[in-house]
């Protein structure tokens, strides 16, 4: 008999937790910089296509596998296939989770520094024209390493608090507040002089700009942002109760996640154009633009401190979810205590995270396939491992999973409009795998 798993207590708790995983630096830091670097509207169009046509079916597929098996990714593949032949998918996803956790914690660390600098008033004293140099000098030194370590230590502390209490309670309070703050900043950005230009950049696709690298970037961003392709949502679904509606939860998660990314874009690009900044600034974009936005408002330090603090918390709900993949794997497969698994994960991420943090300065000349360590970790996980994981999960659930299990899981003890399950199955069997393969071949 399988041991009964702890379960999420409420519907709101389920949504808050899946959205908590999905919404994070991916939406507020990575989306604007990827969109900025890939031509704005063209990127946005591809991104939305991947979210709705592939993303929602793949989240649903992860939910189905995880809940039916009551297990994380490795156990779920074994349970549904009856053999160990799919173990490689789990190893790849565990690798991706570690890589993401490492570079993500570095950016979360930058966010902590900015929270701190807002509170001390330092950030407000920097002139707009000096922000670029200021940020450069910060990330090329050692301070990001200490912040990254601090962030991972907090992550570990929350994880040790257990599934329900730690994650659920925090997400419940946090997410609505973040939405409200984003809305306020949105209105502020829409009042800027070049708001129209910024919005046109983001929403008006230049079709000739849709190149294979834009499409690959958008696909990677969609997977990264939804936390799919590496069994993260699968692990969470193993804690769902039998009545949690799978398709509804998947759709709500995708909609809210996309909303946050679009809001972040609406905040950033009007400002980028109004201040005459470069939309192609890459990972630094948001950190250079946002403070200039905040400090234009009365009470700038308060806004800035609040925003960066919430971003740290949003990052935390995301890192907790990627950590769960690794921890569930160690606990389920090796019967290691949760505490020990958490310590192993944290130490490993601290070592790899240091390499990522230093790759903006002291070790910037070390490259992997022409990319710095930070960029290589990001590219390999988001643009390669997650889409491959998503493709395998779609094919597995679409073709291999027992039909009865699939349909009853999708229906979740309730009524599902009759056209929904076939649409999801068609996407899982054909559309998602073919699109992912086509993007890989083209690029
Ligand atoms: N979706 C998160 C974000 O957008 O910030 C990042 C993420 C979380 C990726 C969990 C992967 C994952 F397993």
Per-residue pLDDT tens over the stretch 195-247:
999 999 999 999 999 999 999 999 999 999 999 999 999 989 998 999 999 99
Please tell me if the CB atom of residue 235 comes closer than 6 angstroms to any atom of ligand 1: no
Query: Ligand 1: does its nearest atom lie under 6 Å from the Cβ of 100?
Result: yes
Q: Is it the case that residue 257 has pLDDT exceeding 90?
A: yes
Residue 130 Cα to ligand 1 midpoint, Å, equals 31
Average pLDDT over residues 241-263: 95
Q: Which domains does the chain have, with CATH numbers?
A: 20-442 (1.10.4160)
Q: Which helix (H) or strand (E) holds 69?
A: helix 56-69
Distance CA 370, CA 372 (A): 7
Listed range (88-92, 130-134, 162-166, 262-266) with the worst mean pLDDT = 162-166
- Structure confidence at residue 282 as a pLDDT band (50, 70, 90): confident
CA 72 to ligand 1 centroid distance, Å: 16
Ligand 1 centroid to Cα of residue 24, in Å, is: 7
Chain segment 288-321, per-residue pLDDT in tens? 999 988 898 888 899 999 899 989 988 998 999 8
Q: Tell me, using a 6 A CB cutoff, whether residue 71 lines ligand 1.
A: no
26 pocket-lining for ligand 1 (C-beta < 6 Å): yes
Per residue in 335-383, pLDDT (tens digit) is 999 899 999 999 999 999 999 999 999 999 999 999 999 999 999 999 9
Q: What's the mean pLDDT when you consider all of the chain?
A: 92
**233 CA closest ligand 1 atom index:** 13
Q: What is the pTM of this model?
A: 0.94
Nearest to 267 by CA among 201, 193, 200, 188: 188
Averaged pLDDT, 68-78: 92
Extended strands (E) in 84-155: none
| pLDDT score of 10 | 81
Check if 192 has its Cβ closer than 6 Å to any atom of ligand 1: no
160-184 pLDDT per residue, tens = 876 546 556 766 777 788 889 899 9
d(CA 93, CA 99): 10
| The pLDDT of residue 283 is above 50 | yes
Distance, CA of 235 to CA of 61 (rounded, Å): 12
Residue 218 CA to residue 226 CA, distance in Å, equals: 12
The preferred substitution site among 24, 31, 233, 345 for testing ligand 1, maximizing ligand atoms within 8 Å of CB, is 24
Angle at 239 between CA 73 and CA 385, to 5 degrees: 25
pLDDT (average), residues 35-51: 96
318 pocket-lining for ligand 1 (C-beta < 6 Å): yes
Question: Residue whose CA is closest, atom 7 of ligand 1?
Answer: 227
Is 21 near ligand 1, meaning CB less than 6 Å away? yes
Q: How many CA atoms lie within 13 A of 241 on its CB side?
A: 12
Report the nearest atom of ligand 1 relative to the CA of 25.
5
What is the Cα–Cα distance from 27 to 30, expressed in whole angstroms? 6
pLDDT at position 122 is: 94
**From ligand 1's centre to the CA of 153, what distance in Å?**
18
Asked whether 321 lines ligand 1 (CB < 6 A), one says yes
pLDDT-derived band at 4 (thresholds 50, 70, 90) equals low
């Amino acid at each position: 008999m399988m041991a009964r798993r702890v379960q999420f207590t409420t519907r709101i708790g389920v949504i808050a937790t899946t959205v908590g995983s999905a919404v994070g630096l991916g939406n507020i830091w990575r989306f604007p910089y990827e969109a900025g670097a890939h031509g704005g509207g063209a990127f946005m169009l591809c991104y939305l296509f991947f979210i709705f046509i592939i993303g929602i079916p793949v989240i649903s597929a992860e939910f189905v596998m995880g809940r039916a098996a009551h297990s994380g990714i490795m156990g779920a593949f074994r349970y549904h296939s009856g053999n160990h032949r799919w173990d490689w998918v789990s190893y790849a996803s565990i690798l991706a989770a570690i890589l993401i956790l490492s570079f993500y914690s570095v950016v979360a660390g930058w966010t902590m520094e900015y929270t701190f600098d807002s509170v001390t008033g330092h950030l407000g004293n920097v002139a707009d024209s000096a922000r670029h140099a200021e940020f450069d000098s910060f990330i090329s030194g050692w301070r990001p390493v200490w912040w990254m370590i601090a962030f991972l230590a907090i992550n570990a502390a929350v994880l040790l608090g257990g599934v329900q209490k730690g994650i659920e309670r925090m997400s419940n309070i946090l997410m609505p507040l973040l939405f409200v703050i984003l809305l306020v900043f949105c209105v502020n950005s829409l009042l800027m002089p070049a708001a129209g230009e910024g919005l046109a950049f983001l929403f008006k696709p230049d079709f000739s700009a849709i190149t294979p690298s834009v499409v690959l970037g958008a696909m990677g961003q969609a997977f990264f942002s939804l936390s799919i392709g590496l069994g993260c949502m699968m692990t969470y679904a193993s804690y769902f109760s039998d009545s949690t509606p799978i398709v509804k939860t998947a759709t709500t998660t995708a909609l809210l996640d996309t909303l946050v990314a679009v809001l972040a874009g609406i905040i950033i690009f009007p400002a980028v154009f109004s201040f005459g900044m470069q939309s192609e600034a890459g990972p630094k974009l948001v950190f250079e633009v946002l403070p200039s936005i905040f400090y234009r408002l009365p009470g700038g330090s308060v806004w800035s401190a609040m925003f960066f603090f919430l971003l740290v918390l949003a990052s935390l709900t995301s890192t907790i979810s990627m950590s769960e993949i690794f921890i569930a794997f160690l606990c389920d497969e090796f019967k290691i205590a949760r505490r020990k698994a958490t310590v192993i994960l944290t130490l490993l991420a601290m070592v790899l995270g240091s390499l990522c943090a230093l790759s903006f300065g002291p070790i910037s000349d070390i490259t992997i396939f022409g990319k710095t360590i930070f960029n290589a970790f990001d590219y390999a996980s988001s643009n390669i491992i997650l889409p491959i994981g998503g493709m395998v999960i779609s094919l597995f659930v679409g073709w291999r999973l027992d039909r009865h299990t699939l349909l009853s899981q999708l229906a979740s003890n309730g009524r599902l409009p009759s056209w929904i399950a076939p649409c999801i199955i068609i996407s899982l069997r054909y559309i998602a795998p073919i699109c992912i393969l086509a993007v890989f071949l083209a690029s």
